[in-house]
Structure 1
Amino acid sequence: MAQNQPRLKSDESGLPDLWLLSDARNDPGLEQALTALPKGSGFIYRHYHLEPAARYARFQILQRIAQKHGHLVVVSGSPVLARKWQADGVYGAAERIPAAGGLLKLVTAHDWTEIVAADRAGADAILLSPVFATRSHPEAKPLGRVRFRMLAQKAKAPIIALGGMTAAKAQRMNWPRWAAIDGLS
């Protein structure tokens, strides 16, 4: 998505089905993972473990690779940061990104209250998690397939399944949009 294009609406096509999230533990393999993703996938850059200057430097390297392969690049942070870094979008909790000003807006949710907040905030997509047990949040109780589907069906914005996701699990769930850290690294 170019900076001057309007943000996606929840009923438009064009939202990638597959999303790779960055993390400290998958950092060493991100170049290879971005290259291996199908063209037109999505990349959510988090890298909370780095200091601001190092975080931006790493982002620039990964953004070039992602763009070379036709992937959308979304950054966790504010819309101001996303614009400054020339990202395609912004990622975070609804209260952190109430207005994205033309950027793709991916909002996190873990329950019905957060889904409602994401929809009210104008999310282009909601990352609903954790579907399954995950190393990122081992203390979190997984939603499981049934609860995940119940919550997903009530959302206005498209839902991206996150948390313990792999291609095999997405296929078994018959869920087209999913994201992973370990499952794609």
Structure 2
Amino acid sequence: MSCQTLPQLWLLSDARNDTVLERALSELPRGSGFVFRHHHLMDEAWVKRLKELLEIAERKEFSTLVPAGRVKCAQMHLNGVQGCIAGIYGPPDTPQAGNLPLFATAHDVTEIVAANLAGAKAVFLSPVFPSCSHPGAPSLGPERFRELAAKAEMPVIALGGMTAEKARALCWPRWAAIGGLSPIT
């Protein structure tokens, strides 16, 4: 990461917010985090889109994460720009990729414990609230979210149905969103 502090605000990408990502990234505060997922794209298109968005991310000194399964692809095609990749995003059992830290995903106590054992730099704990990403799936709610977060040995980033209003209501310093930071049309 370009700065030593873990960002408080994170934008995640996917097919739903692709058309508004340039604007969304430009509007985020300097030093935010960006998780470039785009699972819907094949490797060549994925790398092309990542390169386009990294220009904005680098100018704003964002910490950028890529999914564990795409780290080698990113490193092979970024030709020296790979220093802008701050870590990998994935489940706690993700194998380490060189010296890139793991930013784990977790949904329950088992995954929190696994993230602790894996030495994850941070954990994205979700879904805090009902989310468009998983319609109808049960959410943690504020109380269960706090119970699980207390078991984490690393910073916890709230994810799932998050917006600025919900983050304030939750009183949680670090949060992430897809639609809550990039209105999906």
TM-score (norm 1): 0.90
Secondary structure of 2:104 counterpart: strand
User: Paired residue for 2:88, among 90, 97, 103?
Assistant: 90
Question: What is the deviation of 1:117?
Answer: 0.7
Q: What is the CA–CA distance in structure 2 between the aligned matches of 1:63 and 1:41, rounded to whole Å?
A: 13
Cα deviation 1:51-105 (Å, max 9, x = unaligned) = 111011000000111111111111012443454441221101112x232432232
Secondary structure of 2:6 counterpart: coil
**Are 1:20 and 2:11 matched, yes or no?**
yes
Unpaired segments of 5 or more residues in structure 1? 3-7
**Are 1:131 and 2:140 matched, yes or no?**
no
Q: What is the CA–CA distance in structure 2 between the aligned matches of 1:16 and 1:91, rounded to whole Å?
A: 15
Unpaired segments of 5 or more residues in structure 2? none
Q: What is the CA–CA distance in structure 2 between the aligned matches of 1:81 and 1:157, rounded to whole Å?
A: 28
The one-letter amino acid paired with 2:86 is: D
Q: Percent identity?
A: 54
**Are 1:80 and 2:72 matched, yes or no?**
yes
Q: What is the CA–CA distance in structure 2 between the aligned matches of 1:123 and 1:109, rounded to whole Å?
A: 11
Corresponding residue of 1:56:
47
8 A contact 2:92–2:118 mirrored in 1: yes
Secondary structure of 1:102 counterpart: coil
Give 1:1-185 correspondences, 5 Å limit: 1=1, 14-78=5-69, 79-81=71-73, 83-84=75-76, 85=78, 86=82, 87-95=85-93, 97-185=94-182
Q: What is the CA–CA distance in structure 1 between the aligned matches of 2:101 and 2:175, rounded to whole Å?
A: 17
TM-score (norm 2): 0.90
Secondary structure of 1:20 counterpart: strand
Structure 1 stretches of 4+ with a deviation exceeding 6 A read none
Q: What is the CA–CA distance in structure 1 between the aligned matches of 2:66 and 2:136, rounded to whole Å?
A: 25
8 A contact 1:82–1:90 mirrored in 2: no
Q: What is the CA–CA distance in structure 2 between the aligned matches of 1:98 and 1:135, rounded to whole Å?
A: 29
The one-letter amino acid paired with 1:18 is: L
State the superposition RMSD in angstroms: 1.5
Q: What is the CA–CA distance in structure 1 between the aligned matches of 2:26 and 2:127, rounded to whole Å?
A: 26
8 A contact 1:18–1:179 mirrored in 2: yes
8 A contact 1:166–1:184 mirrored in 2: yes
